[in-house]
Amino acid sequence: MTRPEIQPHDEDTAADSLRGLRARIDELDTQIARLLQERAAASLRVGQTMSGSESAPIFVPHREAEVLANVQGVPGPLDGQAVASIYREILSTSRALQRPTRVAHLGPMATFGHQAAVDRFGSAADLEPCQTHAEVFSAVEKGAADYGLVAFENSTEGPVNEVLDRLVDTPLQICAEVSLPIAHTLLSRSTSLTSIKRVLCHPQTAGQTRLWLAEHLPGVAVLPATSNGKAAELAAQDTTGTVAAVGPRIAGEVYRLNVLADNIQDIAGNVTRFLVLARSASEGATGHDKTAVVFSIRDRVGALRDLAEAFATNAVNLSSIQSRPSKRRAWDYVFFIEMDGHVSEAAVQRALGKAQEHTVFLKVLGSWPVPAD
């Protein structure tokens, strides 16, 4: 069957239609830019009406959660995640207009810690990579950074014990979280998979992508790097087009590398949850929050059961409980609990008050909005 021949009149009509659509897009872009400027001016006025103190927070998680929920509810062809990603950059720019936001995170650049920081704070934030989680805590505690981003737990590896231990004694409060899918990408200056002779990545990443690399790059040497960010940096310096790096998508953006393959991890669904730390507690409940506490129970039979009942009788759901050695004496443990609800809510306050009767110490680590799916 032959295709119908396109007549000149049809081509003219299509061209006119395309010109009309592009003109409409230009018109909409102008409107969007004008509205963004108006929004920025309003954001500056918000900053001016606040206390004026340098300590006044400009990152307000519960308010940003309200903004995202509002714009994600607007119907259209863009899904909620796409709208949220656009608005995170708008919010990031709005914060930067008021005052630079300094964020310490586990580095170096072009790693998953860097990716999580950008996903939560946007590209307008001043990101400060640290070598260890301890340095992240210290930077925020000493005022060298406004916020810290630390890895809290991984869906396949479990909790990050170093972070749990620091949360016991730090004065910092959890004010937000971000969940990051651990999706590995193969990056190179080359555009052809067949030209790759060496692959660089962190040893842990090599283990997570071993099967994919063996199937798609058989016989290719996989060499260790100190981090995936360093691997991407070395791949960017390669002039032969034979070196690739494995890492997060942001590594390709930072070092301007081509994406040869996406999602090359052997196990799908691997997610790391990061916590945002601040020097002051986040105020304002959204109605969809969680609260974390750490405590040590009294040494008696049934103490842990009685503590759990304090939450159950007040209809407060416990979503997570983890334990760690207290490091104060042998066989003494501290427990970390996450619960549904905000610390300002009456049910949570009643539950915590009752739970305190069964503990040696109990410390609220913070309340924060639950991220939208």
Average pLDDT, the chain: 92
E strand residue ranges, 250-317: 258-261, 271-278, 289-297
360: CATH: 3.30.70.260
On whether residue 158 sits in a domain, the answer given is yes
Range of the domain at 312: 284-367
Q: Closest Cα to residue 372, out of 23, 49, 79?
A: 79
Using DSSP, state whether 290 is helix, strand or coil.
strand
Average pLDDT over residues 115-136: 96
On whether residue 100 sits in a domain, the answer given is yes
pLDDT confidence tier of residue 214, bands split at 50, 70 and 90: very high
Distance between CA atoms of 237 and 218, rounded to whole angstroms? 24
Quick one: 327 and 242 in the same domain? no
Quick one: 190 and 321 in the same domain? no
Picking from 115-119, 184-188, 323-327, which range would have the lowest pLDDT averaged per residue? 323-327
Whether pLDDT at 10 is above 90: no
Whether pLDDT at 350 is above 50: yes
Q: Closest Cα to residue 94, out of 31, 131, 43?
A: 43
243: CATH: 3.40.190.10
Quick one: 216 and 73 in the same domain? no
- Cβ atoms of residues 360 and 296 within 8 Å: yes
Picking from 96-100, 237-241, 281-285, 322-326, which range would have the lowest pLDDT averaged per residue? 281-285
Residue 149 has what pLDDT? 98
Residue 107 has what pLDDT? 87
Quick one: 195 and 177 in the same domain? no
pTM for the model = 0.87
Tokens of 35: 């509205």
- Cβ atoms of residues 223 and 200 within 8 Å: yes
Number of domains in the chain: 3
Distance between CA atoms of 308 and 295, rounded to whole angstroms? 12
Residue 55 has what pLDDT? 60
pLDDT confidence tier of residue 1, bands split at 50, 70 and 90: very low
pLDDT confidence tier of residue 129, bands split at 50, 70 and 90: very high
Tokens 């860097």 correspond to: 114
Average pLDDT over residues 64-79: 93
Whether pLDDT at 283 is above 70: yes
Quick one: 92 and 169 in the same domain? yes
Quick one: 323 and 245 in the same domain? no
On whether residue 234 sits in a domain, the answer given is yes
On whether residue 6 sits in a domain, the answer given is no
* Termini Cα distance of the chain: 48
Using DSSP, state whether 323 is helix, strand or coil.
strand
Of 220, 248, 281, which residue sits at a domain end?
281
Distance between CA atoms of 283 and 234, rounded to whole angstroms? 44
Quick one: 88 and 172 in the same domain? yes
Of 261, 295, 319, which residue sits at a domain end?
261
On whether residue 16 sits in a domain, the answer given is no
Quick one: 70 and 173 in the same domain? yes
Quick one: 127 and 151 in the same domain? yes
Whether pLDDT at 171 is above 70: yes
- 77-81 long-range contacts, CB within 8 A, separation 24+: 80/372
| Percentage of residues of the chain with pLDDT beyond 90 | 80
Quick one: 209 and 113 in the same domain? no
Residue 6 has what pLDDT? 47
Q: Which residues contact 100 (CB under 8 A, 6 or more apart)?
A: 125, 126
- Cβ atoms of residues 278 and 145 within 8 Å: no
Average pLDDT over residues 168-188: 97
Quick one: 320 and 214 in the same domain? no
On whether residue 275 sits in a domain, the answer given is yes
Whether pLDDT at 30 is above 60: yes
On whether residue 27 sits in a domain, the answer given is no
On whether residue 223 sits in a domain, the answer given is yes
Tokens of 34: 């004008």
Quick one: 291 and 199 in the same domain? no
Residue 46 has what pLDDT? 86
